[in-house]
Amino acid sequence: MHSINDRNKEIGKFIPAADDDLIICRCEEITKGEIRKAVHDGMFTVTEMRRYLRCGMGLCQGQTCAKLTKNIIARELNVSPSTLEPATSRSPMRPIEMKILGKEEVNKNERD
């Protein structure tokens, strides 16, 4: 989805809410208020939000909070969540130990 996104778009001021302390990303302990505030700092996309706050960058890689984060950003921008691109899913699917990922079925003698 390649589209023009004017970052001067008027979205009003950040208004504190009663549930701002609610934790959205459990792995990185990022709250709803932090995500909402970051939208007002200019983070209009899920990808930027991840890079800015680390939400969805922890152990589960956003498999739990991705949708929630997306919806919060969309609401703050006053757009439909369907207009927001999800963040890129990155391998591995589950955390994997270095010594396992690094071990390929290659005969050492053959390779050398």
Partner 1 sequence: MKETKPDVIVIGGGIVGNSSAYYLAKRGLSVLVLEGSDFIGNGGSSRNGGGVRQSGRDPRELPLVMWGIQNIWPTLNSELGVDVEYYQKGNLRLGKTAQHLKILQNLTDKAVACGLDVRMIDRDEVRKINPYLSDEVIGASWCPTDGHANPLTTTLGYYKAARALGVHFITGEKVVELKKVKGKIHQVITENTTYTADCVLLAAGYESRAIAKTIGINIPVRKLKIECLVTEIQPRMFEQMLGTAEADFYGHQSKHGSFVFGGSTGLEPYETDNGTPISSSIGAPCICRGIMKYFPALSRAKIVRTWAGWVDECADKVAIIDKIDEVPGLFVSCGFSGHGFGIGPAAGYNMAELIATGESPVDLTPLRYNRFKAKI
Comparing CB distances to partner 1, the nearer of 2 and 19 is 2
Examine residue 48 and tell whether it contacts partner 1 (CB under 8 A).
yes
Quote the tokens at residue 83. 């207009």
Comparing CB distances to partner 1, the nearer of 21 and 85 is 85
Give residues 54-73 in contact with partner 1 (rule: CB under 8 A).
54, 57-59, 61
Minimum Å distance from CB 18 to partner 1? 26
> 66 near 46, Cβ under 8 Å?
yes
For 16-28, give one letter per residue: b (16+ CB within 10 A) or e.
Answer: eeeeeeeebbebb
Please give the C-alpha separations between residue 102 and each of 92, 93, 98, 105, in angstroms, as whole numbers.
Answer: 12, 16, 6, 10
Chain positions contacting partner 1, by CB under 8 A: 1-8, 41-45, 47-48, 51-52, 54, 57-59, 61, 85, 90-92, 95-99, 101-104
